[in-house]
Chain A
């Protein structure tokens, strides 16, 4: 985040300019599904779009300080990893074998690092630094008995109405 002057400059831009806005509901918490909301949110923010993210159900743990995201291997026949010069899919049934999920997750993380793909932690930090508004679903928090103290700084708690108020004024609303 820049200094105080920059923040004022941005605030002014938002008030006097015809700023566009976008909201994203993040409902999924596997490694692969964590990417689209954070990529779109950070990129939109970089394009001067005012972004609100609402984290609910399995998306809520994406706000935990400590992330240990896993790749969902079950029921995902579209997942094909480059291996030994070809693309290998994984029969769904293999996903139930202990160790397969963590193995596939390690492979994916490795591949991402090699290809210069940002980590979710990096993208999340970029979102916070670019003033993306982050709302954690209060109901999910209660339901899963999660502790807001375990979550990153700079988020707010809210419910459906808090999200809708933002969505109704936005140019783009996505559900992921």
Chain B
């Protein structure tokens, strides 16, 4: 279970990333954020986002038509 959830369904690039960044800032280091999105571009974008920022992409998957990501906040 993630510490917080962000519903980014229906939002297009770059809003899921922008909103995820904002939500991550409200978490403590080590806490996790679950993101729900429908933008197919989000899959590659969250991978790139995490590689660049050092946050950890714990999960990345698809449930029906919704993409689900879990990111653990690094420093």
A residues within 8 Å of B by Cβ?
2, 6, 39, 42-43, 46-49, 115-118, 123, 126, 130
Contact = CB atoms under 8 A, between A and B. Distances in A.
Nearest to B26: A2
Nearest to A47: B52
A47 B49 contact: yes
Given A48-B53, A126-B18, A39 B25 contact: no
Contacts of B20: 46
A116 B15 contact: yes
A39 B53 contact: no
A46 B8 CA distance: 16
Given A2-B25, A6-B25, A43-B18, A116 B11 contact: yes
A42 B18 contact: yes
Contacts of A47: 17, 21, 49, 52-53
Contacts of A2: 25
B13 A39 contact: yes
Query: What secondary structure prevails in chain B residues at the interface with A?
Result: helix
Interface residues on B, range: 10 to 19
A39 B52 contact: no
A2 B17 CA distance: 17
Contacts of B21: 46-47, 130
Residue of A6, A43, A46 with most partner-chain B CB within 10 A: A46
A118 B15 contact: yes
Report which residue of B13, B14, B25 has the largest number of chain A beta carbons within 10 angstroms of its beta carbon: B14
B4 interface: no
